[in-house]
Homo-oligomer: A and B are copies of this chain.
Amino acid sequence: MSHRPIAALFDPASVAVVGASEDPRKWGNWLAQGALRGEAHRPAYLVNHRAATILGRRAYRSLQELPEAPELVVIAVPGPAIAPTVDAALDAGARALVIISAGAGGDARGEQDAALAQRVRDAGAVLLGPNCLGVLDSGRRLELVPNPLPAGAIGLISQSGNLALELGLMAAPEGLGFSRFASLGNQADLGATELVQAFAAHDATEVIAVYIEDFRDGRAFARAAASAVASGTPVLALAIDDAGAGARAVRSHTGALASDGAAIDAAFAAAGIQRVRTPRELIDAAQALLRCPPSRGRRVAVLGDGGGHVSIAAAVATGAGLDVPELSPAVTGPLRDALPAAAGVSNPIDLAGAAERDVHVFDRLTLDLLGSGEVDALLVTGYFGGYAEYGPETAEEELRTAALMGAAAAATGRPVVTQTMYPHGPAAQALRQAGVAVYESVEQAAWALRVLADGGARRPAATIATLPNPDPPVSGDGYLAARALLAAAGIRFVAHHEVTSADEAVAAALQIGYPVVLKALGQTHKSDAGGVVLNLAGDGALRAAYAEIERALEPERCTVERMAPLTDGVELLIGARWDPRFGPVALAGSGGLYAEILSDTSVRLAPVTETEAEAMLRALRVAPLLTGARGRPPLDLAAAARALATLSHVAATHPEIAELEINPLLVTRTEAIALDARFIPTSQERESAVHLHP
């Protein structure tokens, strides 16, 4: 894609607007106005097959009449006129096209979009849309969008027009704006992946922000984002989970199936993408990334003038996953000397009125705290910005203090984030100019600090794993097929015998040794349906259980299996799911009875290495039970990680398997052994599939 003429989309030598209009309620009017705002930089040609004059300019009746080849053509014509207009634009020499019009809807859309994209590609051009809001490059004064958007350093790629408008309204009062904006529309040709690549190479874009409903090839998108992040441009993305009500709207909006939330999380984590959930979070995160250095860790000092504010801020910061560590005497001693007796000095730090007497206590403490090495960032909360009310001299000093706080952040290379009761006052403005992020509410400030702290973790994995070549597909489903497949790959299973009668069951138990487990085969929710009976200690109990299973479930066959020592170990669930956008995704979680009740899971793009698998297991809340914390014997974590890595490779080589899982995997001191397994073929209706994700 690197040789495709994307430059013609953002910095064309000339622009033509087809469907330009005099009517101020029409897109063709808004786009024409936008094109004319850039006239000092490039010729703007207005085309309308009826009008002779639009907005005081000569209007051309067709693209053929233009005095030169239009490098970029924006098309705002009724649906049936789109295709001929595209042909005319390509004939006229256009290298980039933006189709605002929606084009065909419903089933015909895909076909029409593909045909348009093919024509454009054959001509060596690029196409944005159809069904999009336009394109903007602030530095090049290209404003082919219906509303003006504030200029700045955020490169925005959005699949929703109104959302871009809202982001602009939220960004402007924070002194933020856009370097570029591309409205994705149907992504008939250019998609999010190529645009991320283009924005990463664009110097004026310091942060890339994406609102995306349809990922197309999710791994390619993740790879493009990872490359941007690796080269120093953070990527923020707002994506809706394909679960619950949110998903239905995405379907109805662009016919796209959004990806399941956990798969998105896994892909974003692998790529180093910061996920956001709302426009507010997007703008708040962008502000922090643009104004502040990344934070080296999660240790935060909280500083304010008033115990209420600092208490609330410390609690909110802790709730956001930050640490508010107690400070050492080396720090608190001088603070104790410098501040009033009522002050809190051990973090959070309550100035207890000290700033009313000398507002510079804020910049002195900023330098002291960030320079102490005991915290990674500073959160200032509350009244700062209001000292101006004490008179014009104090107002002057407050502005100087703001500048010095920013200087302290720069000198120490550590972020200062503020929440102020006066977010729109002069001191707040001075903070912004000095490289301090400013927020109105403390929850926004804490979230921003968390984003900065995660910056360290927000490095892409070395590579987004390429999928291995598929193995020959397997057939069948259920427990025995899964067991055979996974055992062949090297995963240990508990000893078992297939039986078809109570006598055979007793004979099998004799060989295995009591106690045993009896399982009915062919039941999806075996244990729920009473198809698994544990801990059968003798012939009588086994025969009784067999009779009951036969009566209730009429299975073709059963297995008799060794009863594993459940109380000696911890039960995990390990599995993989083939996601339509991101491919195979590996999952680890609490298993056994608790698997579907506790949301204790860790998810990554599959396949995973043993090292990655171990990291997944260590990320679980049950990890302390595995690693032997607090005097417990450590369990065989390495064996569990090996099993997970193996399973993830099996899943990655079998696209015909929608879901593959072992539950439970019993991890003891000496082994990790699978007690049950199943797979669900991709061909089975997804509705009947048991989702691995709770």
Question: Interface of A with B (CB < 8 Å)?
Answer: 24-25, 102, 105-106, 158-163, 165-166, 169, 211, 213, 238, 240-241, 244-254, 277-281, 302, 305-312, 314-319, 324-326, 341-348, 350, 382-383, 386, 390-391, 421-422, 440-443, 525, 528-530, 534-535, 565-568, 570, 593-594, 597-598, 600, 621-622, 624-625, 630-632
Contact = CB atoms under 8 A, between A and B. Distances in A.
B245 A348 contact: yes
A308 B258 CA distance: 12
B348 A315 contact: no
Nearest to A248: B346
A347 B525 contact: no
A312 B279 contact: yes
A624 B324 CA distance: 37
Nearest to A441: B280
B245 A213 contact: no
7 contacts: A165-B386, A244-B315, A244-B318, A246-B324, A252-B350, A566-B566, A597-B625
Nearest to A535: B567
Given A163-B308, A593-B625, A624-B597, A245 B421 contact: no
B570 A567 contact: no
A302 B567 CA distance: 48
Given A102-B342, A566-B566, 8 more contacts: A158-B308, A240-B312, A246-B324, A280-B441, A280-B442, A281-B443, A597-B625, A598-B621
Nearest to A212: B308
The A interface, classified by DSSP as helix, strand, loop or mixed, is mixed
B343 A631 contact: no
Contacts of A326: 245, 248
A168 B245 CA distance: 37
Contacts of A247: 311
Contacts of A158: 308
Given A315-B240, A625-B593, A308 B246 contact: no
Top 6 closest pairs, chain A to chain B, by CB: A160-B308, A253-B307, A252-B344, A245-B324, A246-B315, A162-B306
Given A245-B302, A250-B311, A631 B528 contact: yes
A347 B105 CA distance: 20
Given A245-B347, A249-B350, A280 B163 contact: no
A162 B308 CA distance: 8
Given A253-B307, A593-B570, A625-B597, A314 B245 contact: yes
Contacts of A316: 277-278
Nearest to A597: B621
Contact of A245 (B308, B318, B535): B318
B106 A162 contact: no
Given A166-B382, A244-B315, A213 B253 contact: no
A209 to B, nearest CB: 13
Nearest to A24: B391
A395 to B, nearest CB: 13
Contacts of A251: 344
A315 B277 contact: yes
A309 B597 contact: no
A318 to B, nearest CB: 5
Contacts of A632: 528
A211 B106 contact: no
A624 B597 CA distance: 8
A130 B134 CA distance: 62
Given A529-B631, A535-B567, A347 B248 contact: yes
A160 to B, nearest CB: 3
Given A106-B341, A277-B312, A307 B525 contact: no
Contact of A249 (B159, B348, B535): B348
